[in-house]
Amino acid sequence: MNKAKIAIIGSGNIGTDLMIKVIRTSETLEVAAMAGIDPASDGLARAGRLGVATTSDGVEGLIGMPCFDDVAVVLDATSAGAHRRNDAALRPYGKQVVDLTPAALGPYVVPAVNLGSHLAEPNVNMVTCGGQATVPIVAAVSRVAPVRYAEIVASIASRSAGPGTRANIDEFTETTSRALEEVGGAARGKAIIVLNPAEPPVIMRDTVYCLVEDCDEAAVAASVKEMVADVAAYVPGYRLKQEVQFRPVAAGDPLADLGGEGLLVSVFLEVEGAAHYLPAYAGNLDIMTSAALRVAERMAAR
């Protein structure tokens, strides 16, 4: 079967993991090229050993490569600032772009929630690792009961937070908060990220709090479990840590100031990486590359 060709911009941890994930697991995609800006990067060296065409001249180098005309989708794993420049350079060529940075030039896409609505977009944004893990849960709750307020805490191993992640902390919180509202359906959203320095490193943990009106608790729990299964279909290490928790919120409770009386729904998640390139504890990076792969496959199939 002829595979659709993609290109990856960014030869760091995320771009390299994405390349290896495509090569090892995708039945429909082929990595035609990887573009970076550091000729000594491990990502470009690995790409060369795997037979992938490379350039260290960034997006301009990619555009000048012989294989560029055959590329259907470009996946950008650089930084928010770099993505804005890359998207502007690619736009005249009509390539679909999957943005793994917090730049958010295009609509937010979380595959288990809204991918089908954005397959024709020229640029889609993969939110953040915390967004990919938690927005599906907020959406699962909101399809049963209106979510007045959603707050998420994403805890990741400090070792799995590279320079790009650390430089984009503000964008992470802002982008994730907006996605909780725009994709998850919450009236208000808040996101917090914690870089855990524990040794040995711990895998990604996410806690989701949703404040809702009184509702059918069994229906909410069932919706959450169904959504977890949907995400795990493309992120095998995504799982519930324990049963969905419910707590009444009455007048006088500090939480009532955020969304009134009702129920606090608490969901505790764990994301273990597939260890294609990065350690298994780096689930925060794995969920981004896995989600981006799902989007690219669906775009190419369209």
Which tokens is 268 given? Answer: 């505790």
Q: Which residue has the tokens 């998850």?
A: 184
164 has a pLDDT exceeding 80: no
pLDDT (0 to 100) of residue 122: 97
The three-class DSSP label of residue 102 is: coil
For residue 157, give the 3-state DSSP assignment: strand
Give residue 1's pLDDT.
Answer: 67
How far is 296 from 253, CA to CA, in rounded Å?
45
Dist. CA 223–CA 15, nearest whole Å: 33
Environment class of 189 (CB within 10 Å of its CB; exposed 0-12, middle 13-18, buried 19+): buried
Catalytic residues: 129
Ordered by where they begin, the domains of the chain are 4-127+286-301 (3.40.50.720), 129-281 (3.30.360.10)
pTM of the model: 0.94
Query: Which of 121-125, 158-162, 216-220, 228-232 bottoms out in mean pLDDT, i.e. has the lowest?
Result: 158-162
- Rounded distance between C-alpha atoms, residue 137 and residue 7, angstroms: 31
Annotated binding site, which residues? Answer: 11-14, 160-168, 284
* Cα-based distances in Å from 201 to 204, 247, 275: 9, 31, 14
Any long-range contacts for 260-264 (C-beta under 8 Å, 24+ apart)?
260/148, 260/211, 260/213, 262/148, 262/211, 262/212, 262/213, 262/214, 263/145, 263/211, 263/212, 263/213, 263/214, 263/215, 263/217, 264/209, 264/210, 264/211
What is the DSSP code (8-state) at residue 108?
B
| Residue with token string 């009386």 | 261
Binding site, annotated residues for NAD(+): 11-14, 160-168, 284
pLDDT tens profile 227-265: 999 999 999 999 999 999 999 999 888 888 888 899 999
